[in-house]
């Protein structure tokens, strides 16, 4: 029986709060705080209708450390689940230290003025969390999050060592719009337009954005073009699975998406430096976000499936030589919408956020300091994925990936 305070009332926050309310044995009290309190109230109303549970709401600007500290001291939750934007991570970690509360998030810190995300800034909180006897768990979404737990499950049950790892993220959903992003457009476009990086022979190798393309036939979706890009779990996987010779991340994009993004980039609409417009500074990418559809509005029309998983090749645990395994989840956009009012991209992130929080509150995952998903026993997390809407399968492939 524990009290949790969630910050951020977007698609991911909405799914996580709905799923927490469906598990009152673990989450006995839920508080939801965000910049726009009306969005918190709308989620609380939907939760009440769907589950009968009450969610308390607050307005908070999480960039304001003093205000967040005051809210935490007043509400006294056992855990803060940060589902706002990556820009708020450090401010919320500071508030947790001030108020003596555990911390969890789904995306690593990113400064607003540089399109660069890395764990460095949050790993630097290690000593402060440890000395305070507090726990911070980083990246408990799907990717990062489940993709790391999948890799550790393979290492525990199938492979003694992982030689190569490929993470394949396919969104086969169609929202019927010419161009829209499935989660926060600013974060999504910054991620996609950054140079690709993959791990090879002990170092990160950088290549041009969207420069490497492969077609892959995804189960229940069909053949899709996927592009190699940098993704944050590569950094923690390289640290905690040091024997890997190579690790790569791939994401599918349709031709229409690439065409629109190329034009937007060419005309300067994805810039994150300020430009003067009619006497005031604007950031083109933030203006673009304001004219694109809200990701949360896409749920009602999105059809199709997501298919996200890991393909790992390495020495089999049973001594039978080198083997390749594919472990994945397939999630249906319409089912996700029917259950929580949000499409599958929010669902596949919000469910693991609820599970990570459950791991911490039930003390199945416990430690003092700052932790990544790779550092804990994957089994209880994997069990909850099966029980709470993200069932997974594992199969042996006849050969490693041919590319
Ligand atoms: P949204 O943009 O839909 O929601 C973000 C929410 O945070 C909004 O309610 C927003 O408020 C609120 N917020 C923003 N700034 C502040 C602030 N200063 N103080 C308080 N609240 C604030 O994003 P998503 O729900 O799609 O994503 C949430 C998080 O999940 C992001 O960090 C994203 O990177 C991460 N993510 C992780 C994935 C994974 O697999 N690991 C996949 C997808 C997303 P307002 O409504 O006022 O704008």
Give dist(CA 363, CA 134) in Å, integer.
Answer: 12
Domain boundaries defined on the chain:
2-138, 146-342+393-397
Return the structure tokens found at 85. 């934007």
| Kind plus residue range of the DSSP H or E element containing 337 | helix 333-340
Give dist(CA 368, CA 268) in Å, integer.
Answer: 45
Ligand 1 pocket, 298 CB below 6 A?
no
- How far does the chain reach from its first CA to its final CA, in angstroms? 49
The dihedral formed by the CA atoms of 92, 93, 96 and 98, expressed in degrees to the nearest 10: -100
Ligand 1 pocket, 350 CB below 6 A?
no
Measured in Å, residue 125 CA sits from the centre of ligand 1 at 22
Architecture label for domain 146-342+393-397: 2-Layer Sandwich (3.30)
Tell me what pLDDT residue 48 has. 98
Tell me what pLDDT residue 114 has. 73
Which residues is 79 bridged to in the sheet? 4, 102
Measured in Å, residue 401 CA sits from the centre of ligand 1 at 34
Residue positions counted in the chain: 403
Determine what percent of the chain is predicted with pLDDT higher than 70.
Answer: 100
DSSP letters for 95-134: HHHHHT-EEEESS----TTS----SHHHHTTHHHHHHTT-
Tell me what pLDDT residue 397 has. 98
The closest residue, in CA terms, to atom 26 on ligand 1 is: 183
Q: Which regions of the chain are under pLDDT 50? A: none
Strands (E), 115-245: 135-138, 164-171, 196-200, 203-207, 213-218, 222-229
Architecture label for domain 2-138: 3-Layer(aba) Sandwich (3.40)
Tell me what pLDDT residue 182 has. 80
Ligand 1 pocket, 341 CB below 6 A?
no
Measured in Å, residue 181 CA sits from the centre of ligand 1 at 13
Ligand 1 pocket, 141 CB below 6 A?
yes
Give 89-101 pLDDT, tens digit per residue: 999 999 999 999 9
Measured in Å, residue 192 CA sits from the centre of ligand 1 at 17
C-alpha triplet 94, 371, 11: angle, nearest 5°: 70
A 10 A CB-CB count for 7 gives: 26
Task: With beta carbons less than 8 A apart as the criterion, state whether 100 and 129 touch.
Answer: no
Measured in Å, residue 184 CA sits from the centre of ligand 1 at 7
Tell me what pLDDT residue 298 has. 87
In the chain, how long is the greatest CA-to-CA distance? Answer: 69
Report the SS3 class of residue 197.
strand
Ligand 1 pocket, 331 CB below 6 A?
no
Give dist(CA 224, CA 253) in Å, integer.
Answer: 8
Give 206-224 pLDDT, tens digit per residue: 999 999 999 999 999 999 9
Measured in Å, residue 399 CA sits from the centre of ligand 1 at 39
Angstrom distances, CA of residue 190 to CA of 104, 175, 186, 269? 23, 21, 6, 11
Tell me what pLDDT residue 188 has. 84
Ligand 1 atom at minimal distance to the Cα of residue 88: 18
């Amino acid at each position: 029986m524990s009290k949790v305070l969630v910050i951020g009332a977007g698609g991911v926050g909405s799914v996580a709060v709905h799923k927490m309310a469906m598990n009152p044995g673990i989450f006995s009290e839920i508080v939801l705080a965000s910049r726009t309190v009306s969005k918190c109230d709308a989620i609380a109303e939907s939760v009440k209708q769907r589950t009968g549970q009450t969610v308390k709401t607050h307005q908070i600007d999480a960039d304001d450390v003093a205000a967040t500290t005051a809210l935490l001291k007043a509400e006294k939750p056992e855990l803060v689940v940060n589902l706002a934007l990556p820009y708020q991570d450090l401010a919320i970690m500071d508030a947790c230290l001030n108020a003596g509360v555990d911390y969890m998030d789904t995306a690593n810190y990113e400064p607003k003025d540089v399109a660069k995300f890395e764990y460095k800034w949050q790993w630097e909180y290690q000593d402060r969390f440890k000395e305070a006897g507090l726990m911070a768990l980083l990246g408990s979404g799907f990717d990062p999050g489940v993709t790391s737990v999948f890799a550790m499950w393979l290492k525990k049950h199938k492979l003694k060592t992982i030689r190569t790892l490929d993470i394949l993220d396919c969104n086969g959903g169609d929202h019927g719009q010419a161009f829209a992003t499935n989660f926060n457009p600013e974060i999504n476009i910054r991620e996609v337009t950054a140079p690709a990086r993959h791990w090879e022979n002990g170092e990160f190798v950088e290549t041009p954005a969207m420069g490497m393309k492969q077609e892959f036939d995804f189960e229940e979706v069909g053949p899709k073009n996927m592009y190699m890009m940098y993704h944050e779990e590569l950094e923690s996987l390289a640290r905690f699975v040091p024997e890997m010779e190579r690790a790569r991340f791939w994401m599918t994009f349709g031709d229409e998406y690439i065409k629109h993004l190329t034009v937007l980039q060419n005309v300067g609409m994805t810039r994150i430096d300020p430009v003067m417009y009619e006497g005031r500074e604007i950031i083109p990418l933030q203006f673009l976000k304001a004219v694109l559809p809200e990701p949360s509005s896409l749920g009602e029309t999105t059809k199709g499936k997501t298919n996200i998983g890991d393909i790992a090749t390495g020495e089999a645990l049973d001594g039978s030589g080198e083997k390749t395994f594919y472990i994945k989840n397939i999630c249906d956009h319409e089912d996700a919408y029917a259950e929580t009012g949000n499409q599958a991209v929010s669902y596949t992130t919000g469910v693991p956020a609820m599970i990570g929080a459950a791991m911490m509150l039930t003390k199945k995952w416990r430690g003092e300091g700052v932790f990544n998903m790779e550092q804990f026993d994957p089994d209880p997390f994997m069990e909850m994925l099966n029980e709470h809407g993200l069932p997974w399968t594992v199969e042996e492939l006849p050969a490693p990936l041919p590319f």
